[in-house]
Amino acid sequence: MADVVEVAGRSMPVSSLDKAYFPKAGLTKGDVLDYFVALCSDEYGAPMLNTMRDRPVLLQRYPKGASGPNFFQKRIPDGAPDWLETTTVETVNGTPSRALVMADAAHVVWAVNLGAFTLHPWPYRLTAEQRAVERNGGVPSRLVDELRIDLDPVPGIGFEEVREAARLVRDWFADRSISSYVKTSGSKGLHVYVPVDRSPTGPCYDSYAVRGAAVTVARSLAREYPTLLTDRWWKEERGSRVFIDFNQNAPHKTVFGAWSVRARVGAQVSTPLFWDELTTIDPDSLTVETVVPRLAERGDPWAEMYRNPQDVAALVHEFEAGLETVGDAPWPPVYPKQPYEPARVAPSRARSTEDPTTGPEA
């Protein structure tokens, strides 16, 4: 028999609460569900809804728990409740799908009950007006409200180097009067976010423009700190440096969401941090069991983030101004070839096809 969770004015049926989801940590599906309910509660400032509300979300489902098989739920099933908010999103090749919109806590509980404790949100929110446009057969605007810098360690790089990289990113933004925010990835990396102004009177940008701003950030930091940071897309060129992954901002790209749970033995959480605790925090200590007590003690580090949008116009303009001379940075292979993009081939492969008498192969 299913149990019932009362949330957001709805009676939500949930099932198999005693199923072992993280057996080595002693956590059941019910424990994970309790964690998400707490994260949506006003008692703790509803941090999950602060960052996820009104965003389309890609669900990564683990129906048998963290150690079992998983898959991405790209389309909401036809038998889903009729009250679920959804929207049409597209993959990079233009394939449409019906995605869940995290409208309130009931939507979070519905997703987690499917085994989706790993949530991948899009970098924009749908307003009531945009939903009305979609219901009337139109295409709502997709104006981005987050610039995301993924600091990705390569083999041989430890968390101390990633920590230092995050501090340098913060200081780089601060030197340009841009406020930034940090979270753990739930694994070995860190993510630095800048809330992007999308007010009616301010500059508004789509994913192409915000990706360009991220390329500006990556190029500048890689020039300033070449022994620690790299913007090289090809792995063979990165060396033992922290990679600034600008392509996490590419159109139709989702990222591992704040407060989501990694399918790791310890049930580690991708946790927003205060900058002043970055020097001492152990990311592996931030788990389903520890994050809620931490919230009760310190509060939500991102509580004011979306009330403090930043102007990234200078970063966008710098990227666009350099397209004719510097060009674009490489795009992931699943994307169509882009204007101003360099040859999409690994440098070693390009060298292997080069004829010493005629130059690179056409």
Q: What is the pLDDT of residues 122-140, one digit of tens each?
A: 999 987 778 777 777 777 7
User: Shortest CA distance to 192 belongs to which of 232, 163, 224, 223?
Assistant: 163
Hey, what are 310's tokens? 């930043």
Between 140 and 152, name the one with better pLDDT: 152
pLDDT at 356: 47
- Considering the chain, what is the average pLDDT of its residues? 92
Specify the higher pLDDT residue, 37 or 78.
37
Pairing of the two strands 27-28 and 20-22: antiparallel
Q: Which of 13, 2, 45, 24 is nearest to 291 (CA)?
A: 45
What is the pLDDT, as a whole number, of residue 95?
83
Q: What does the pLDDT look like over 322-336, one tens digit per residue?
A: 999 999 999 999 899
Instruction: Give the pLDDT band of residue 361 (cuts 50, 70, 90).
Output: very low
Task: Kindly report the pTM of this predicted structure.
Answer: 0.93
Helix, strand or coil, per DSSP, at residue 305: helix
* Under 8 Å between Cβ of 230 and 275: no
User: Measured in Å, how far apart are the chain's first and last C-alpha atoms?
Assistant: 66
pLDDT of residue 64 exceeding 50: yes
Report the DSSP beta bridge partners of residue 3: 14
Q: Taken in order 39, 41, 45, 51, is the CA torsion positive or negative?
A: positive
Rounded CA-CA distance 56/26 in Å is 31
Q: How many residues does the chain have?
A: 362
More confident residue, 218 or 130: 218
214 and 231 in contact (C-beta within 8 Å)? no
What pLDDT score does 247 carry? Answer: 96
DSSP secondary structure string for all residues of 211-236: HHHHHHHHHHHHHH-TTTEE--SSGG
The pLDDT score that the predictor gives to residue 2 is 66
What CATH number has the domain spanning 3-122?
A: 3.90.920.10
Confidence label for 141 from pLDDT (cuts 50, 70 and 90):
confident
Mean pLDDT over 287-307 rounds to 97
204 pLDDT band, cuts 50/70/90, is: confident
- Domain span(s) for CATH 3.30.70.3300 in the chain: 146-253+309-328
The alpha carbon dihedral of 260, 263, 264, 267 has a sign of positive
**Cα–Cα distance between 234 and 112 in angstroms, integer?**
36
At residue 224's C-alpha, the angle toward residues 220 and 230, to 5°, is: 70
Pick the CATH number of 146-253+309-328 from 3.90.1150.10, 1.10.3300.10, 3.40.250.10, 3.30.70.3300: 3.30.70.3300
Mean pLDDT to the nearest integer, 71-89: 90
Return the residue matching tokens 């679920």. Answer: 84
- Tell me the mean pLDDT in the region 252-280: 96
**What pLDDT is attached to residue 78?**
80
Alpha carbons within 13 angstroms on the beta-carbon side of residue 120 total 17
pLDDT beyond 70 at 263: yes
For residue 132, what are its two tokens?
A: 């009305």
Say which residue, 198 or 119, is predicted with more confidence. 119
Q: pLDDT tens across 15-63, in order? A: 999 999 999 999 999 999 999 999 999 999 999 999 999 999 999 999 9
Task: Say how far apart CA 264 and CA 83 lie, in whole Å.
Answer: 33
Cα–Cα distance, 29 to 22 (Å, whole number): 8
Average pLDDT over residues 96-111: 94
d(C-alpha 119, C-alpha 109), whole Å = 12
Structure tokens at 315: 């970063």
Listed in order, the ranges of the chain carrying CATH 3.90.920.10 are: 3-122
% of the chain at pLDDT higher than 70: 95
HSE of 13, CA atoms in CB hemisphere, 13 A: 5
State residue 284's pLDDT score.
97
Q: pLDDT at position 16, please?
A: 95
Say which residues have a Cβ less than 8 Å from residue 45's Cβ, sequence separation at least 6: 295, 299, 300, 303
What is the mean pLDDT of the segment spanning 160-174?
98
Instruction: State how far Cα 82 lies from the chain centre.
Output: 28
Exposed, middle or buried: residue 122 (CB in 10 Å: 0-12, 13-18, 19+)?
buried
